[in-house]
Amino acid sequence: MGKVLTLEVLLSKEIEYLLEAEEYKEKQKLPSERELAEYFHVQRLTIRAALQILVQKGILISKERYGYFIAPKRVRFTLNHTNSFKMMIERMGKTSYVKLLEFEKMKITETLAKKTLLAEGTEMYRIMRLRYGNKEPIALEKSYIVCDLAKDLSEEDVHNKSLYETLKKKYRLFITHSSHRVSVVYANGLEAELLKVSPSKPLIKYQGLAYEKKGRLLEYFETVLLSDKIEFIIQKN
């Protein structure tokens, strides 16, 4: 196999392949170190180092004296399809729920005007919701909708409902273009409290601008997600 990769790294990859090929499920137990060492014809210490790499990557969980298990799967968040978050969570076999925290009509702030390039004085609905997967908070979603495009949007329209579905059905607004940005931030007080994590825990910040069919800006959103619960997927077109 050559010396380009260390034996431990190569082995960790071969174990990954094995787990995929044999369709190991979430929380399933792996064969013992001894069995794996025999299977791959290597020393137990080498197997242990390889397994450790997979623990580090969050693929496996090690429980002392019990062995290695497949870690809980992350929610696969597909970026280039307009699937709803609800659907993505449910596809992982988890229940999805979204709780409305705040809903208000407001004048655009200076920061927001800079981000959206909308005129001063533009009115927007500010919607803050907390997203749960299997009853655990998973994301805090802030969305700003241009009032003129969705007149009389109400709390009932967005409480435990898909915002995009409402925009489609009630206002015939279809999002045809959006630009997105992903970065890492550290939880502020409010985020830490709502997402039940310690302050300064790294979170994924996912921001974007969404435009409707006629090219008018409809929404600016800013979502923070628990970084260890999410995996982003970008499929080829």
* Interaction site with other proteins (CB under 8 A): 1-5, 10, 13-14, 16-18, 21, 53, 56-58, 74, 76, 79-82, 176-184, 202, 204, 227-228, 230-237
User: Which CB sits closer to other proteins, 78 or 122?
Assistant: 78
Q: Provide, rounded to whole angstroms, the least separation between the CB of residue 75 and other proteins.
A: 11
Give whichever of 13 and 126 is closer to other proteins, judged by the CB atom.
Answer: 13
171 vs 232 by CB, closer to other proteins: 232
Closer residue to other proteins, CB minimum distance, 16 or 90: 16
* Nearest distance from C-beta of residue 88 to other proteins, angstroms: 13
Backbone angles phi, psi at 229, to 5 degrees: -110, -5
Closer by beta carbon to other proteins, 5 or else 106 = 5
- Nearest approach in angstroms of CB 213 to other proteins is 11
Q: How many residues are listed for the chain in this entry?
A: 237
Task: For residue 124, count other CB atoms closer than 10 A to its CB.
Answer: 24
Provide, rounded to whole angstroms, the least separation between the CB of residue 11 and other proteins: 10
In whole angstroms, how close is the CB of 206 to other proteins at the nearest point? Answer: 10
> What is the token pair recorded at 125?
């609905």
Comparing CB distances to other proteins, the nearer of 156 and 202 is 202
- State which amino acid sits at residue 23: E
Cα gap 17→108, rounded to integer Å:
51
Q: Amino acid identity, residue 158?
A: V
Shortest CB 42 distance to other proteins, Å: 14
Strand 136-146 and strand 123-133: pairing? antiparallel
For residue 212, what are the contacts with CB-CB under 8 A and spacing of at least 6?
Answer: 149, 173, 174, 175, 176, 218
3-state DSSP call for residue 181?
strand
Supply φ then ψ for residue 115, to 5 degrees. -70, -35
For other proteins, the closer CB: 79 or 190: 79
Shortest CB 49 distance to other proteins, Å: 11
Which residue in this structure is represented by tokens 């910040």? 205
Output the DSSP codes for 141-178. EEEEEEGGGSTT--HHHHTTS-HHHHHHHHH---EEEE
Are 81 and 235 within 8 A, CB to CB? yes
